[in-house]
Chain A
Protein backbone atom coordinates (compact mmCIF):
# COMPACT_ATOMS: atom_id res chain seq x y z
CA UNK A 1 0.00 0.00 0.00
CA UNK A 2 1.30 3.44 -0.97
CA UNK A 3 0.66 5.79 1.94
CA UNK A 4 1.07 9.57 2.11
CA UNK A 5 1.12 11.21 5.54
CA UNK A 6 0.71 14.99 5.85
CA UNK A 7 2.67 16.45 8.76
CA UNK A 8 3.19 19.92 10.23
CA UNK A 9 5.96 21.53 12.26
CA UNK A 10 4.43 23.22 15.30
CA UNK A 11 5.54 24.67 18.64
CA UNK A 12 5.69 21.84 21.15
CA UNK A 13 3.08 22.79 23.75
CA UNK A 14 4.39 20.28 26.27
CA UNK A 15 7.75 22.12 26.18
CA UNK A 16 6.52 25.71 25.87
CA UNK A 17 4.07 28.08 27.48
CA UNK A 18 2.52 29.94 24.59
CA UNK A 19 2.61 33.71 25.05
CA UNK A 20 1.62 36.59 22.82
CA UNK A 21 4.01 39.27 21.57
CA UNK A 22 3.53 42.91 22.59
CA UNK A 23 1.62 43.92 19.45
CA UNK A 24 -0.64 40.85 19.46
CA UNK A 25 0.38 40.08 15.87
CA UNK A 26 1.84 36.67 16.72
CA UNK A 27 2.83 34.38 19.55
CA UNK A 28 6.31 34.86 21.04
CA UNK A 29 8.36 32.68 18.74
CA UNK A 30 11.83 33.31 20.19
CA UNK A 31 13.07 30.33 22.17
CA UNK A 32 10.12 28.13 21.20
CA UNK A 33 10.86 24.43 20.88
CA UNK A 34 9.30 23.04 17.70
CA UNK A 35 8.41 19.47 16.89
CA UNK A 36 6.11 17.45 14.70
CA UNK A 37 2.42 17.94 15.49
CA UNK A 38 1.47 15.23 17.99
CA UNK A 39 -1.50 13.91 15.96
CA UNK A 40 0.67 13.64 12.83
CA UNK A 41 3.16 11.51 14.71
CA UNK A 42 0.43 8.94 15.43
CA UNK A 43 -0.52 9.06 11.74
CA UNK A 44 3.06 8.30 10.67
CA UNK A 45 3.34 5.44 13.17
CA UNK A 46 0.08 3.96 11.84
CA UNK A 47 1.33 4.24 8.26
CA UNK A 48 4.59 2.51 9.16
CA UNK A 49 2.74 -0.34 10.88
CA UNK A 50 0.42 -0.81 7.87
CA UNK A 51 3.40 -0.85 5.50
CA UNK A 52 5.23 -3.36 7.68
CA UNK A 53 2.14 -5.62 7.62
CA UNK A 54 1.09 -5.44 3.98
CA UNK A 55 4.06 -3.91 2.16
CA UNK A 56 4.31 -0.70 0.20
CA UNK A 57 5.84 2.60 1.18
CA UNK A 58 5.30 5.61 3.43
CA UNK A 59 5.90 9.16 2.19
CA UNK A 60 5.73 12.12 4.57
CA UNK A 61 4.89 15.52 3.15
CA UNK A 62 4.73 18.98 4.65
CA UNK A 63 3.92 22.48 3.46
CA UNK A 64 6.41 24.87 4.97
CA UNK A 65 9.76 26.59 4.85
CA UNK A 66 13.30 25.20 5.15
CA UNK A 67 12.84 24.67 8.90
CA UNK A 68 10.01 22.26 8.17
CA UNK A 69 12.54 19.81 6.74
CA UNK A 70 13.54 18.77 10.25
CA UNK A 71 10.14 17.23 10.97
CA UNK A 72 10.31 15.27 7.72
CA UNK A 73 13.70 13.88 8.78
CA UNK A 74 12.34 13.03 12.21
CA UNK A 75 9.49 11.04 10.68
CA UNK A 76 11.89 9.37 8.24
CA UNK A 77 14.01 8.39 11.22
CA UNK A 78 10.85 6.78 12.61
CA UNK A 79 10.59 4.68 9.48
CA UNK A 80 8.96 6.69 6.71
CA UNK A 81 10.60 5.87 3.36
CA UNK A 82 10.49 9.28 1.72
CA UNK A 83 10.00 12.93 2.55
CA UNK A 84 8.71 15.72 0.32
CA UNK A 85 8.82 19.43 1.16
CA UNK A 86 6.23 21.62 -0.53
CA UNK A 87 7.70 25.09 -0.49
CA UNK A 88 7.00 28.24 -2.46
CA UNK A 89 6.71 31.93 -1.62
CA UNK A 90 3.29 31.76 -3.24
CA UNK A 91 2.12 29.33 -0.51
CA UNK A 92 2.66 31.80 2.31
CA UNK A 93 -0.45 32.91 4.17
CA UNK A 94 -2.64 30.19 2.66
CA UNK A 95 -5.72 29.25 4.66
CA UNK A 96 -6.83 25.64 5.20
CA UNK A 97 -8.31 25.46 1.71
CA UNK A 98 -5.04 26.72 0.26
CA UNK A 99 -2.99 24.13 2.14
CA UNK A 100 -5.36 21.36 1.03
CA UNK A 101 -5.04 22.55 -2.60
CA UNK A 102 -1.23 22.44 -2.36
CA UNK A 103 -1.23 18.89 -0.98
CA UNK A 104 -3.77 17.88 -3.63
CA UNK A 105 -1.06 18.65 -6.18
CA UNK A 106 1.30 16.16 -4.53
CA UNK A 107 -1.42 13.49 -4.27
CA UNK A 108 -2.17 13.79 -7.97
CA UNK A 109 1.50 13.44 -8.87
CA UNK A 110 1.71 10.20 -6.94
CA UNK A 111 -0.22 6.96 -6.83
CA UNK A 112 -1.38 6.82 -3.23
CA UNK A 113 -3.88 4.35 -1.83
CA UNK A 114 -4.19 5.97 1.56
CA UNK A 115 -3.67 9.56 2.69
CA UNK A 116 -3.40 10.29 6.41
CA UNK A 117 -3.38 13.56 8.32
CA UNK A 118 -3.46 14.31 12.03
CA UNK A 119 -6.97 15.01 13.35
CA UNK A 120 -5.86 18.55 14.20
CA UNK A 121 -2.76 20.68 14.80
CA UNK A 122 -1.75 23.78 16.75
CA UNK A 123 -4.62 25.92 15.46
CA UNK A 124 -7.22 23.29 16.41
CA UNK A 125 -8.96 23.60 13.06
CA UNK A 126 -8.90 19.98 11.89
CA UNK A 127 -9.72 21.00 8.34
CA UNK A 128 -7.10 19.97 5.80
CA UNK A 129 -7.93 16.24 5.59
CA UNK A 130 -11.64 16.71 4.98
CA UNK A 131 -11.02 19.48 2.46
CA UNK A 132 -8.40 17.45 0.61
CA UNK A 133 -10.74 14.46 0.36
CA UNK A 134 -13.56 16.63 -1.01
CA UNK A 135 -11.22 18.21 -3.58
CA UNK A 136 -10.06 14.76 -4.69
CA UNK A 137 -13.55 13.22 -4.51
CA UNK A 138 -12.20 10.54 -2.21
CA UNK A 139 -14.04 9.13 0.82
CA UNK A 140 -13.06 10.67 4.16
CA UNK A 141 -13.31 9.77 7.82
CA UNK A 142 -12.17 11.90 10.74
CA UNK A 143 -10.93 11.10 14.27
CA UNK A 144 -9.81 7.63 13.24
CA UNK A 145 -8.61 5.44 16.09
CA UNK A 146 -8.44 2.08 14.34
CA UNK A 147 -7.53 0.85 10.86
CA UNK A 148 -8.00 -2.77 9.77
CA UNK A 149 -6.76 -3.51 6.26
CA UNK A 150 -9.29 -5.83 4.57
CA UNK A 151 -7.64 -6.06 1.14
CA UNK A 152 -6.00 -3.74 -1.37
CA UNK A 153 -9.35 -2.12 -2.18
CA UNK A 154 -10.93 -1.85 1.25
CA UNK A 155 -10.22 -0.98 4.87
CA UNK A 156 -12.36 -0.94 8.00
CA UNK A 157 -11.95 2.19 10.02
CA UNK A 158 -12.95 3.03 13.60
CA UNK A 159 -13.83 6.62 14.50
CA UNK A 160 -13.78 8.02 17.99
CA UNK A 161 -17.25 9.32 18.85
CA UNK A 162 -18.82 10.46 22.12
CA UNK A 163 -18.66 8.49 25.35
CA UNK A 164 -15.65 6.39 24.41
CA UNK A 165 -17.68 4.58 21.74
CA UNK A 166 -16.27 3.67 18.35
CA UNK A 167 -18.03 4.02 15.00
CA UNK A 168 -16.90 1.41 12.47
CA UNK A 169 -17.00 2.20 8.75
CA UNK A 170 -16.02 0.34 5.63
CA UNK A 171 -13.99 2.61 3.36
CA UNK A 172 -12.87 1.96 -0.18
CA UNK A 173 -9.40 2.96 -1.30
CA UNK A 174 -8.04 5.42 -2.12
CA UNK A 175 -9.33 7.46 0.81
CA UNK A 176 -8.30 10.17 3.25
CA UNK A 177 -8.34 9.67 7.02
CA UNK A 178 -7.58 12.05 9.87
CA UNK A 179 -5.91 10.22 12.74
CA UNK A 180 -6.73 10.67 16.43
CA UNK A 181 -4.11 10.33 19.16
CA UNK A 182 -4.08 7.01 21.00
CA UNK A 183 -4.52 4.87 17.85
CA UNK A 184 -1.08 3.36 18.53
CA UNK A 185 2.07 4.00 20.53
CA UNK A 186 4.46 6.02 18.34
CA UNK A 187 7.99 4.64 18.53
CA UNK A 188 10.80 6.56 20.10
CA UNK A 189 13.22 8.32 17.78
CA UNK A 190 16.77 8.64 19.00
CA UNK A 191 19.55 10.92 17.88
CA UNK A 192 21.17 7.99 16.07
CA UNK A 193 18.07 7.42 13.98
CA UNK A 194 17.97 11.06 12.97
CA UNK A 195 21.69 11.02 12.09
CA UNK A 196 21.09 8.07 9.77
CA UNK A 197 18.70 10.08 7.59
CA UNK A 198 20.55 13.39 7.94
CA UNK A 199 21.99 13.27 4.43
CA UNK A 200 19.02 11.75 2.60
CA UNK A 201 17.90 14.11 -0.10
CA UNK A 202 14.45 15.59 0.37
CA UNK A 203 12.86 16.84 -2.84
CA UNK A 204 11.40 20.34 -2.74
CA UNK A 205 8.38 21.11 -4.89
CA UNK A 206 6.81 24.48 -5.66
CA UNK A 207 3.53 25.68 -7.12
CA UNK A 208 4.61 25.07 -10.73
CA UNK A 209 5.87 21.52 -10.01
CA UNK A 210 2.56 20.65 -8.38
CA UNK A 211 0.25 22.44 -10.82
CA UNK A 212 -1.52 24.16 -7.95
CA UNK A 213 -4.50 26.38 -8.71
CA UNK A 214 -3.06 29.86 -8.09
CA UNK A 215 -6.52 31.25 -7.33
CA UNK A 216 -6.83 29.50 -3.97
CA UNK A 217 -3.34 29.79 -2.43
CA UNK A 218 -1.53 32.56 -0.60
CA UNK A 219 -2.73 35.27 1.76
CA UNK A 220 -4.56 37.17 -1.00
CA UNK A 221 -6.87 34.22 -1.66
CA UNK A 222 -7.45 33.18 1.94
CA UNK A 223 -11.12 33.43 2.84
CA UNK A 224 -10.30 33.01 6.51
CA UNK A 225 -7.54 35.16 8.03
CA UNK A 226 -6.22 35.47 11.53
CA UNK A 227 -6.32 39.15 12.56
CA UNK A 228 -4.58 39.02 15.92
CA UNK A 229 -3.86 36.98 19.02
CA UNK A 230 -5.23 37.97 22.39
CA UNK A 231 -5.82 36.69 25.87
CA UNK A 232 -9.51 36.93 26.71
CA UNK A 233 -10.29 38.99 29.81
CA UNK A 234 -10.05 36.54 32.66
CA UNK A 235 -13.29 35.60 34.33
CA UNK A 236 -13.46 35.32 38.06
CA UNK A 237 -11.35 32.21 37.90
CA UNK A 238 -10.24 30.08 40.77
CA UNK A 239 -9.47 31.28 44.26
CA UNK A 240 -5.70 30.81 44.21
CA UNK A 241 -4.22 29.38 47.38
CA UNK A 242 -0.95 31.05 48.23
CA UNK A 243 1.69 30.82 50.94
CA UNK A 244 3.95 28.03 52.11
CA UNK A 245 3.23 24.45 51.04
CA UNK A 246 2.10 23.42 54.54
CA UNK A 247 -0.21 26.39 54.74
CA UNK A 248 -1.72 25.68 51.32
CA UNK A 249 -2.23 22.01 52.13
CA UNK A 250 -3.92 22.86 55.42
CA UNK A 251 -6.33 25.26 53.69
CA UNK A 252 -6.99 22.77 50.92
CA UNK A 253 -7.74 19.92 53.32
CA UNK A 254 -10.25 22.11 55.19
CA UNK A 255 -11.98 22.95 51.92
CA UNK A 256 -12.02 19.37 50.69
CA UNK A 257 -13.49 18.24 54.02
CA UNK A 258 -16.26 20.82 53.97
CA UNK A 259 -17.20 19.86 50.40
CA UNK A 260 -17.26 16.13 51.16
CA UNK A 261 -14.05 15.47 49.28
CA UNK A 262 -12.46 13.39 52.02
CA UNK A 263 -14.32 10.35 53.18
Chain B
Protein backbone atom coordinates (compact mmCIF):
# COMPACT_ATOMS: atom_id res chain seq x y z
CA UNK B 1 0.00 0.00 0.00
CA UNK B 2 1.26 3.41 -0.86
CA UNK B 3 2.51 5.47 1.98
CA UNK B 4 0.38 8.52 2.73
CA UNK B 5 1.89 11.81 3.84
CA UNK B 6 -0.03 14.63 5.51
CA UNK B 7 1.22 18.18 5.99
CA UNK B 8 -0.20 20.41 8.71
CA UNK B 9 -0.65 23.92 7.34
CA UNK B 10 -0.09 26.85 9.68
CA UNK B 11 -2.00 29.96 8.68
CA UNK B 12 -2.96 33.35 10.02
CA UNK B 13 -5.40 35.99 8.80
CA UNK B 14 -6.23 33.99 5.69
CA UNK B 15 -2.63 33.49 4.56
CA UNK B 16 -0.67 30.22 4.70
CA UNK B 17 2.66 30.26 6.51
CA UNK B 18 5.89 29.93 4.48
CA UNK B 19 6.32 26.47 5.99
CA UNK B 20 3.40 25.20 3.84
CA UNK B 21 5.72 25.25 0.81
CA UNK B 22 8.60 23.78 2.80
CA UNK B 23 6.57 20.80 4.02
CA UNK B 24 5.58 19.76 0.50
CA UNK B 25 9.28 19.78 -0.40
CA UNK B 26 10.11 17.74 2.72
CA UNK B 27 7.38 15.25 1.73
CA UNK B 28 8.79 14.94 -1.79
CA UNK B 29 12.29 14.34 -0.39
CA UNK B 30 10.90 11.76 2.02
CA UNK B 31 9.03 9.67 -0.55
CA UNK B 32 8.43 11.18 -3.97
CA UNK B 33 5.90 8.46 -4.81
CA UNK B 34 3.66 9.09 -1.80
CA UNK B 35 0.49 11.15 -2.19
CA UNK B 36 0.65 14.31 -0.06
CA UNK B 37 -2.40 15.88 1.53
CA UNK B 38 -2.51 19.32 3.12
CA UNK B 39 -4.52 19.54 6.34
CA UNK B 40 -6.04 22.99 6.79
CA UNK B 41 -8.01 23.53 9.97
CA UNK B 42 -9.82 26.70 10.96
CA UNK B 43 -13.08 28.46 10.33
CA UNK B 44 -14.86 30.89 8.01
CA UNK B 45 -13.79 32.84 4.94
CA UNK B 46 -10.13 32.97 5.99
CA UNK B 47 -10.03 29.19 5.97
CA UNK B 48 -11.37 29.02 2.40
CA UNK B 49 -8.78 31.55 1.28
CA UNK B 50 -5.97 29.46 2.77
CA UNK B 51 -7.34 26.27 1.17
CA UNK B 52 -7.37 27.92 -2.27
CA UNK B 53 -3.81 29.16 -1.78
CA UNK B 54 -2.55 25.79 -0.61
CA UNK B 55 -4.26 23.93 -3.48
CA UNK B 56 -1.74 25.58 -5.80
CA UNK B 57 0.98 23.47 -4.15
CA UNK B 58 -0.84 20.37 -2.86
CA UNK B 59 -2.88 18.00 -5.04
CA UNK B 60 -5.13 17.14 -2.13
CA UNK B 61 -6.34 19.63 0.46
CA UNK B 62 -8.48 18.54 3.37
CA UNK B 63 -10.43 21.35 4.97
CA UNK B 64 -11.93 21.21 8.45
CA UNK B 65 -14.21 24.11 9.32
CA UNK B 66 -15.17 24.30 12.97
CA UNK B 67 -15.72 27.30 15.22
CA UNK B 68 -13.68 25.54 17.92
CA UNK B 69 -10.68 25.87 15.58
CA UNK B 70 -10.84 29.67 15.22
CA UNK B 71 -7.75 29.77 17.41
CA UNK B 72 -5.39 26.80 17.00
CA UNK B 73 -5.49 25.26 20.47
CA UNK B 74 -3.16 22.28 20.10
CA UNK B 75 -5.37 20.03 22.23
CA UNK B 76 -8.38 20.67 19.96
CA UNK B 77 -6.31 20.27 16.80
CA UNK B 78 -4.85 17.02 18.09
CA UNK B 79 -8.28 15.56 18.69
CA UNK B 80 -9.36 16.40 15.15
CA UNK B 81 -6.15 15.06 13.58
CA UNK B 82 -6.44 11.74 15.42
CA UNK B 83 -9.83 11.31 13.76
CA UNK B 84 -8.56 12.27 10.30
CA UNK B 85 -5.08 10.77 9.91
CA UNK B 86 -5.24 7.08 8.96
CA UNK B 87 -3.14 4.51 10.76
CA UNK B 88 0.39 4.14 9.43
CA UNK B 89 0.45 7.56 7.72
CA UNK B 90 3.17 10.17 8.11
CA UNK B 91 2.28 13.59 9.49
CA UNK B 92 4.63 16.51 8.86
CA UNK B 93 4.31 19.52 11.17
CA UNK B 94 6.41 22.70 11.30
CA UNK B 95 8.74 22.70 14.30
CA UNK B 96 7.76 25.95 16.00
CA UNK B 97 5.73 26.85 19.07
CA UNK B 98 2.50 25.32 17.80
CA UNK B 99 4.14 22.21 16.37
CA UNK B 100 5.95 21.66 19.66
CA UNK B 101 2.63 21.95 21.49
CA UNK B 102 0.81 19.54 19.20
CA UNK B 103 3.19 16.90 17.94
CA UNK B 104 4.58 14.81 20.84
CA UNK B 105 1.07 14.08 22.11
CA UNK B 106 -0.22 13.49 18.57
CA UNK B 107 2.40 10.77 18.06
CA UNK B 108 1.22 9.01 21.22
CA UNK B 109 -2.46 9.20 20.24
CA UNK B 110 -1.68 7.90 16.74
CA UNK B 111 0.68 5.30 18.25
CA UNK B 112 3.26 6.49 15.73
CA UNK B 113 6.99 7.22 15.92
CA UNK B 114 8.03 10.80 16.71
CA UNK B 115 10.98 12.53 15.07
CA UNK B 116 11.31 16.17 16.13
CA UNK B 117 13.10 19.14 14.54
CA UNK B 118 14.32 17.39 11.41
CA UNK B 119 16.71 19.39 9.21
CA UNK B 120 17.35 16.90 6.40
CA UNK B 121 16.24 13.53 5.02
CA UNK B 122 18.97 11.06 4.04
CA UNK B 123 17.40 7.80 2.93
CA UNK B 124 14.29 5.65 2.90
CA UNK B 125 14.62 1.86 2.77
CA UNK B 126 11.40 -0.02 3.34
CA UNK B 127 10.05 1.29 6.63
CA UNK B 128 13.38 2.67 7.80
CA UNK B 129 13.68 6.40 7.31
CA UNK B 130 17.05 8.03 7.98
CA UNK B 131 16.82 11.64 9.10
CA UNK B 132 19.24 14.36 10.14
CA UNK B 133 18.79 16.23 13.42
CA UNK B 134 21.01 18.50 15.47
CA UNK B 135 21.95 18.30 19.15
CA UNK B 136 23.65 20.62 21.61
CA UNK B 137 22.24 23.78 20.01
CA UNK B 138 23.55 22.82 16.57
CA UNK B 139 27.09 21.99 17.68
CA UNK B 140 26.79 18.45 16.33
CA UNK B 141 24.49 16.67 13.88
CA UNK B 142 23.11 13.14 14.09
CA UNK B 143 21.64 10.59 11.72
CA UNK B 144 18.49 9.14 13.22
CA UNK B 145 16.64 6.02 12.12
CA UNK B 146 12.88 6.34 12.35
CA UNK B 147 10.69 3.23 12.11
CA UNK B 148 7.73 4.08 9.88
CA UNK B 149 5.91 0.76 10.26
CA UNK B 150 3.32 2.28 12.63
CA UNK B 151 3.40 5.71 10.96
CA UNK B 152 5.26 8.77 12.17
CA UNK B 153 4.85 12.35 13.27
CA UNK B 154 7.82 14.38 12.05
CA UNK B 155 8.40 18.03 12.83
CA UNK B 156 10.37 19.99 10.25
CA UNK B 157 12.64 22.90 11.07
CA UNK B 158 11.60 26.11 9.33
CA UNK B 159 13.95 27.03 6.50
CA UNK B 160 15.55 23.56 6.30
CA UNK B 161 13.78 22.54 3.08
CA UNK B 162 13.95 25.17 0.35
CA UNK B 163 10.59 25.32 -1.42
CA UNK B 164 10.30 24.80 -5.14
CA UNK B 165 7.69 27.40 -5.99
CA UNK B 166 7.55 26.47 -9.65
CA UNK B 167 5.46 23.35 -9.05
CA UNK B 168 1.81 23.89 -9.68
CA UNK B 169 -0.52 21.29 -8.27
CA UNK B 170 -4.01 22.52 -9.18
CA UNK B 171 -5.24 20.56 -6.20
CA UNK B 172 -8.77 19.85 -5.05
CA UNK B 173 -10.20 20.92 -1.72
CA UNK B 174 -12.26 18.32 0.14
CA UNK B 175 -14.41 19.34 3.10
CA UNK B 176 -13.61 16.84 5.83
CA UNK B 177 -15.48 18.69 8.58
CA UNK B 178 -18.04 15.90 9.05
CA UNK B 179 -15.25 13.35 9.63
CA UNK B 180 -13.42 15.50 12.16
CA UNK B 181 -15.67 14.42 15.00
CA UNK B 182 -16.25 16.34 18.18
CA UNK B 183 -13.67 19.11 18.51
CA UNK B 184 -14.48 19.92 22.13
CA UNK B 185 -11.81 19.44 24.77
CA UNK B 186 -11.84 19.91 28.47
CA UNK B 187 -8.81 20.97 30.39
CA UNK B 188 -7.26 23.70 28.27
CA UNK B 189 -8.97 26.85 27.11
CA UNK B 190 -7.40 29.66 25.08
CA UNK B 191 -7.86 33.01 26.84
CA UNK B 192 -5.98 35.75 25.01
CA UNK B 193 -2.75 36.88 23.35
CA UNK B 194 -0.71 39.36 25.35
CA UNK B 195 1.28 41.43 22.88
CA UNK B 196 4.98 41.99 23.53
CA UNK B 197 5.82 45.18 25.34
CA UNK B 198 7.34 47.87 23.19
CA UNK B 199 10.80 48.78 24.42
CA UNK B 200 12.56 52.13 24.38
CA UNK B 201 14.23 51.23 21.08
CA UNK B 202 12.51 49.52 18.15
CA UNK B 203 15.29 47.22 16.93
CA UNK B 204 13.15 46.09 14.00
CA UNK B 205 13.86 49.50 12.46
CA UNK B 206 17.59 49.66 13.26
CA UNK B 207 20.06 49.78 10.36
CA UNK B 208 23.02 48.73 12.45
CA UNK B 209 22.77 46.34 15.39
CA UNK B 210 25.41 45.47 17.94
CA UNK B 211 24.03 42.22 19.31
CA UNK B 212 25.29 40.53 22.44
CA UNK B 213 25.01 36.95 23.68
CA UNK B 214 26.06 34.64 26.46
CA UNK B 215 29.76 35.45 25.86
CA UNK B 216 29.32 38.72 27.76
CA UNK B 217 29.31 36.62 30.97
CA UNK B 218 28.27 39.39 33.37
CA UNK B 219 25.75 42.20 33.40
CA UNK B 220 28.44 44.75 34.25
CA UNK B 221 30.21 43.91 31.00
CA UNK B 222 27.26 45.29 29.02
CA UNK B 223 28.83 48.71 29.45
CA UNK B 224 31.42 47.89 26.79
CA UNK B 225 28.67 46.84 24.37
CA UNK B 226 26.89 50.15 24.93
CA UNK B 227 30.17 51.99 24.36
CA UNK B 228 30.77 50.17 21.08
CA UNK B 229 27.20 50.75 19.88
CA UNK B 230 27.52 54.44 20.75
CA UNK B 231 30.80 54.73 18.85
CA UNK B 232 29.25 53.04 15.81
CA UNK B 233 25.93 54.86 15.98
CA UNK B 234 24.21 51.50 16.35
CA UNK B 235 21.45 50.07 18.54
CA UNK B 236 22.00 47.24 21.02
CA UNK B 237 20.16 43.95 20.61
CA UNK B 238 20.77 40.54 22.15
CA UNK B 239 20.15 36.81 22.11
CA UNK B 240 17.88 34.90 24.43
CA UNK B 241 20.16 34.18 27.42
CA UNK B 242 20.61 37.92 28.01
CA UNK B 243 16.84 38.41 28.29
CA UNK B 244 16.44 35.27 30.42
CA UNK B 245 19.00 36.75 32.82
CA UNK B 246 16.95 40.00 32.80
CA UNK B 247 20.02 42.02 31.75
CA UNK B 248 18.17 43.55 28.77
CA UNK B 249 14.45 43.86 28.06
CA UNK B 250 12.59 41.33 25.90
CA UNK B 251 12.02 43.97 23.18
CA UNK B 252 15.74 43.80 22.38
CA UNK B 253 15.80 40.03 21.79
CA UNK B 254 16.46 38.87 18.22
CA UNK B 255 15.04 35.48 17.28
CA UNK B 256 11.95 33.45 16.52
CA UNK B 257 10.61 34.00 20.02
CA UNK B 258 11.69 37.68 19.97
CA UNK B 259 11.97 40.31 17.28
CA UNK B 260 12.58 39.86 13.56
CA UNK B 261 15.18 42.42 12.51
CA UNK B 262 16.38 43.51 9.07
CA UNK B 263 19.45 45.69 9.57
CA UNK B 264 22.15 46.43 6.99
CA UNK B 265 24.89 45.39 9.39
CA UNK B 266 24.64 42.88 12.25
CA UNK B 267 27.52 42.52 14.67
CA UNK B 268 27.08 39.29 16.67
CA UNK B 269 29.21 39.36 19.82
CA UNK B 270 29.52 36.19 21.89
CA UNK B 271 26.44 34.73 20.19
CA UNK B 272 26.62 31.04 19.27
CA UNK B 273 24.08 31.37 16.46
CA UNK B 274 21.29 28.91 17.26
CA UNK B 275 18.68 28.48 14.52
CA UNK B 276 16.15 30.21 16.74
CA UNK B 277 18.37 33.29 16.89
CA UNK B 278 19.26 33.28 13.18
CA UNK B 279 15.56 32.87 12.35
CA UNK B 280 15.03 36.42 13.59
CA UNK B 281 17.54 37.99 11.17
CA UNK B 282 16.07 38.79 7.75
CA UNK B 283 17.01 40.89 4.74
CA UNK B 284 20.48 39.33 4.26
CA UNK B 285 22.52 41.82 6.33
CA UNK B 286 26.32 41.94 6.46
CA UNK B 287 26.98 39.75 9.52
CA UNK B 288 30.17 40.00 11.55
CA UNK B 289 30.64 37.39 14.28
CA UNK B 290 33.07 37.54 17.17
CA UNK B 291 33.19 34.40 19.30
CA UNK B 292 35.90 32.60 21.24
CA UNK B 293 34.61 29.21 20.09
CA UNK B 294 35.92 28.71 16.53
CA UNK B 295 33.26 26.02 16.03
CA UNK B 296 30.29 28.19 16.94
CA UNK B 297 27.51 27.79 14.33
CA UNK B 298 27.42 31.59 13.92
CA UNK B 299 30.57 31.38 11.78
CA UNK B 300 28.62 29.39 9.19
CA UNK B 301 26.05 32.15 8.87
CA UNK B 302 28.35 35.17 9.17
CA UNK B 303 30.09 37.01 6.34
CA UNK B 304 33.12 37.84 8.44
CA UNK B 305 34.36 36.12 11.58
CA UNK B 306 36.85 36.82 14.34
CA UNK B 307 37.85 34.17 16.87
CA UNK B 308 38.35 36.20 20.03
CA UNK B 309 37.06 36.71 23.54
CA UNK B 310 34.62 39.62 23.22
CA UNK B 311 35.57 40.83 26.70
CA UNK B 312 39.03 41.66 25.33
CA UNK B 313 38.14 42.42 21.70
CA UNK B 314 35.16 44.75 22.12
CA UNK B 315 36.84 47.46 24.25
CA UNK B 316 39.71 47.67 21.78
CA UNK B 317 37.36 47.88 18.80
CA UNK B 318 35.26 50.55 20.51
CA UNK B 319 38.35 52.56 21.35
CA UNK B 320 39.69 52.44 17.77
CA UNK B 321 36.34 53.49 16.31
CA UNK B 322 36.00 56.33 18.83
CA UNK B 323 39.57 57.53 18.07
CA UNK B 324 38.89 57.48 14.36
CA UNK B 325 35.93 59.82 14.66
Contact = CB atoms under 8 A, between A and B. Distances in A.
A203 interface: no
B104 A238 contact: no
A245 B130 contact: no
A18 B137 CA distance: 10
Given A229-B142, A252-B306, A259-B265, A181 B187 contact: no
B104 A126 contact: yes
Contacts, number: 264
Interface string B285-325: 01111000101000111111111100001001100110010
B321 to A, nearest CB: 6
A8 interface: no
- SS class of chain A's interface: helix, strand, loop or mixed? mixed
A219 to B, nearest CB: 12
Interface residues of A, number: 81
B264 A260 contact: yes
Given A223-B150, A234-B300, A260-B208, A130 B189 contact: no
B140 A159 contact: no
B113 interface: yes
Contacts of A223: 113-114, 146-147, 150, 152
Interface of A: 11, 13-14, 17-20, 27, 96-97, 100, 119, 122-131, 133-135, 138-143, 156, 158-172, 175, 181-182, 185, 223-232, 234-235, 237-241, 245, 248-250, 252-253, 255-256, 259-263
Interface of B: 73-75, 78, 96-98, 100-109, 113-117, 130, 132-137, 139-147, 150, 152, 185-197, 207-208, 214, 231-234, 240-241, 243-246, 250-251, 253, 256-260, 264-265, 267, 286-289, 293, 295, 299-308, 313, 316-317, 320-321, 324
A-B interface, 9 closest residue pairs, ranked by CB to CB distance from nearest: A130-B104, A263-B233, A164-B196, A139-B187, A238-B305, A261-B265, A134-B105, A223-B113, A182-B244
